[in-house]
Chains A and B, each alone.
Chain A
Amino acid sequence: MAKYTIKRLLYMIPVLFGVAFLVFTILSLTPGDPGTIILGITAKPEDIAALNAEFGYDQPFLIRFFNYIGDIIFHFDLGTSYQSRQPVIEDIIARFPNTLKLTIFSMSLSAILGISLGILSAVRQYSKLDHICVVTALIFASIPGFWLGLMLLLIFALKLRVLPSYGAGTLRHFILPTLTVSMTSAAGLLRLTRSAMLETVRQEYIRTAKAKGASEKRVIWKHALRNALLPVITTLGTSFGASLGGAIIAETVFAMPGMGTLITTAIRQKDIPVVMGSTLFLATLFSLIILIVDLLYAFIDPRIKAKYQSGGKSRG
């Protein structure tokens, strides 16, 4: 297991490097140089050149990239905002906690709702409850998160006035955004859990367990569930990414100061260092989550776990 973990950790290095290169390359396609963006086209050419030199923009592309990476690794410096001239990392530190909270709340809610209802739905296949779950999940999977947010806002904050409509001061502020973000991914998880569970109960080993005299309940909880949850766990990483994406949009709806509003504002102001720094920061976080999910998966599935414990050998 340690061997597998180390192997996966080492693999993260080139992947993260690749992610940085990808993001840097895409954002370097932005037309215009920092001098012109900050000072405007009417500014004196020498002022623009001086500013460009300050941002290191006079260097060729690859040198700029390696300087950027070097600054991140050695100085924990994600660049300087064109607008505020402050280090990007400060903006991130100020905004990130809200986004993280929202993402974690939403992930938890959607996992609890999606997985438990998915199991219930599969166990009672063809029942009324199953039918309702499946149709409701399909409907929620078709509702854009932001529109759900707007409707919740309309009902609970503006008409009923029971919950705050914007900001991020208290936990109450997180209720509506959490619902907004989690419904879509709960719907996805429900569908996935249900189909994984149905697939599992069709397996022969389930029949073997029944032939031993195991009750329906025992067959489901002891034999089917663990096997069914394996594919669900592999997608938890992706659904974290989806929740993060949902959070970014929900922040706009609920005017919540988070990474989403930081990035969209920066895009409007052409503040490329902020966009780049924030994107890289979130992508790194996301990669780590995927890594953790993979390790968790390996820990639960004996086939993978043992493969790495015994150095890849398995007895025939």
Chain B
Amino acid sequence: MEKKEAVLEVKDLSVIYKSDLETVYAVNHISFSIEKGETLGLVGETGAGKTTTALGIMRLLPQRTARFTSGEILLEGVDLKNLSEKEMLKIRGEKVSMIFQDPMTALNPVLTVGDQIGEAIFLHNENNLSKKEIDQKVEEMMEMVGIPKERKNEYPYQFSGGMRQRVVIAMALVCNPEVLIADEPTTALDVTIQAQILSMICDLQRQYQTSVIMITHDLGVVAETCDKVAIMYAGEIVEYGTLAQIFTGEAHHPYTTGLFGSIPSLTQNTRRLHPIEGLMPDPTNLPKGCKFAPRCEKCMEICRQEAPQVSINDGHQIRCHLYMKKEA
């Protein structure tokens, strides 16, 4: 396989939330990259820093509290961190767009869905489309995501959750962005609808060659949609590799092993699940060694003292002392 150029490259990114009382270390030195048309799964528990990463890329973090403390966000070689707000307006929606978790609250209740999809075109109207042409494009896009175009003058409350998520997807893809960030796009939906929405996102992605960051805590979703996977824990990427490396590879970060142990399997006859004991560490007061050490079954003395470095094996990255030792 030839090495393609990365569309989006995140290098050593850290984000903190600082209030006058405490500092939350939400994202700590994470790096990943996505090539054209590729899907990266960002997997982890609630509070692992997935959404912060996404909002950081969009530069939509709360201005008063959030700060980048290190790293770069390179979109086609340009660091988004250095762009002005005005320049970011041209990026958002056009180059990078985002789908949010809860379609019930993601749409403006007093504007019609047609207006809301059309607004995305209007805001990035480089071809100077007329009102009529925008309208036409809205209708095309609606049909593409499976909503009858006659419904464009209806308001969000007239749509079900799944239909609303289709509207949100139409809105995100209508400008044909380079990167689509999907923040748990199916978590709030019924299981049957989830599959429809996921396959629709995949179809559209193939059609437009969009790169996707799929944020989820559902390993099933990852298996179905992703090419690469990054497992996040307490603001760090603890394991990073191709879908095959993560799902079938031999060496794994204990947290990844734990995650897989937490899902029921149909093929293996397991008696009971093996959930990971304990809770995520307090992000205002992270352990000084390995962040996962307090919950790790294979925790060693060094894990409590020293933060592990990343060991790389054929692109498969694991941040764990277990594997560092082997190398040495």
Which positions in A face B, CB cutoff 8 Å?
Answer: 126, 203-205, 207-216, 218, 222-223, 226-227, 230, 300-303, 306, 314-316
Q: Given contacts A214-B123, A303-B155, A314-B157, are A208 and B60 in contact (CB under 8 A)?
A: no
Bound complex: CA A313 to CA B98 (Å): 32
Q: Which residues of B contact A226 (CB under 8 A)?
A: 110
Given contacts A212-B93, A223-B111, A230-B110, 10 further A-B contacts (CB under 8 A): A204-B100, A204-B105, A208-B108, A210-B60, A211-B60, A215-B89, A227-B109, A302-B110, A302-B155, A303-B109
Q: Bin chain B's interface residue count.
A: 35 or more
Whether the pair A315, B159 counts as a contact (CB closer than 8 A) is: yes
Q: Mark B74-109, 1 if CB is under 8 A from A, else 0.
A: 000000000001000111111001101010011111
Most chain B CB neighbours (cut-off 10 Å) among A207, A210, A212, A306 = A212
**Distance in Å from the Cβ of A170 to the closest Cβ of chain B?**
43
Whether the pair B105, A213 counts as a contact (CB closer than 8 A) is: no
Q: Which residues of A contact B92 (CB under 8 A)?
A: 210-213
Q: How many A-B residue pairs have CB under 8 A?
A: 83
B230 in contact (CB, < 8 A): no
Q: Which residues of B contact A222 (CB under 8 A)?
A: 111, 119
Tell me which residues from 154 to 178 in chain B have a Cβ below 8 Å from any Cβ of chain A.
Answer: 154-155, 157-160, 168, 171-172
Between-chain CB contacts (< 8 Å), 16 pairs: A204-B102, A205-B107, A207-B60, A210-B92, A211-B60, A212-B120, A212-B123, A213-B124, A215-B89, A227-B110, A230-B110, A301-B110, A302-B109, A302-B157, A303-B109, A315-B159
Whether the pair A314, B93 counts as a contact (CB closer than 8 A) is: no
Whether the pair B106, A204 counts as a contact (CB closer than 8 A) is: yes
B13 in contact (CB, < 8 A): no
> Who on chain B is nearest to A225 by CB?
B110
Which positions in B face A, CB cutoff 8 Å?
Answer: 58, 60, 64, 85, 89-94, 97-98, 100, 102, 105-112, 119-120, 123-124, 154-155, 157-160, 168, 171-172
Q: Which residues of B contact A303 (CB under 8 A)?
A: 109, 155, 157
> Who on chain B is nearest to A307 by CB?
B157
> Who on chain A is nearest to B161 by CB?
A316
Q: Which residues of B contact A126 (CB under 8 A)?
A: 64
**Distance in Å from the Cβ of B181 to the closest Cβ of chain A?**
9
Q: Given contacts A303-B109, A306-B155, are A208 and B160 in contact (CB under 8 A)?
A: no
Partner of A208, one of B85, B90, B106, B157: B106
Q: Which residues of A contact B119 (CB under 8 A)?
A: 209, 212, 214, 222
Whether the pair B155, A213 counts as a contact (CB closer than 8 A) is: no
Q: Which residues of B contact A211 (CB under 8 A)?
A: 58, 60, 92-93, 97-98, 100, 172
Q: Which residues of A contact B171 (CB under 8 A)?
A: 208, 212
Bound complex: CA A171 to CA B112 (Å): 45
Q: Which residues of B contact A208 (CB under 8 A)?
A: 100, 106-108, 168, 171
Most chain A CB neighbours (cut-off 10 Å) among B102, B108, B123, B168 = B108
Whether the pair A316, B168 counts as a contact (CB closer than 8 A) is: no
Q: Which residues of B contact A223 (CB under 8 A)?
A: 108, 111
> Who on chain B is nearest to A126 by CB?
B64
Bound complex: CA A289 to CA B255 (Å): 64
Whether the pair A227, B97 counts as a contact (CB closer than 8 A) is: no
Q: Which residues of B contact A227 (CB under 8 A)?
A: 108-110
Partner of B93, one of A203, A213, A315, A316: A213
Most chain B CB neighbours (cut-off 10 Å) among A208, A301, A306 = A208
**Distance in Å from the Cβ of A197 to the closest Cβ of chain B?**
14
Bound complex: CA A300 to CA B93 (Å): 28
Bound complex: CA A300 to CA B164 (Å): 22
Q: Which residues of A contact B107 (CB under 8 A)?
A: 205, 208
Q: Given contacts A302-B155, A306-B155, are A213 and B123 in contact (CB under 8 A)?
A: yes
**Distance in Å from the Cβ of A133 to the closest Cβ of chain B?**
19
Bound complex: CA A126 to CA B90 (Å): 28
Bound complex: CA A306 to CA B155 (Å): 9
Whether the pair A205, B105 counts as a contact (CB closer than 8 A) is: yes
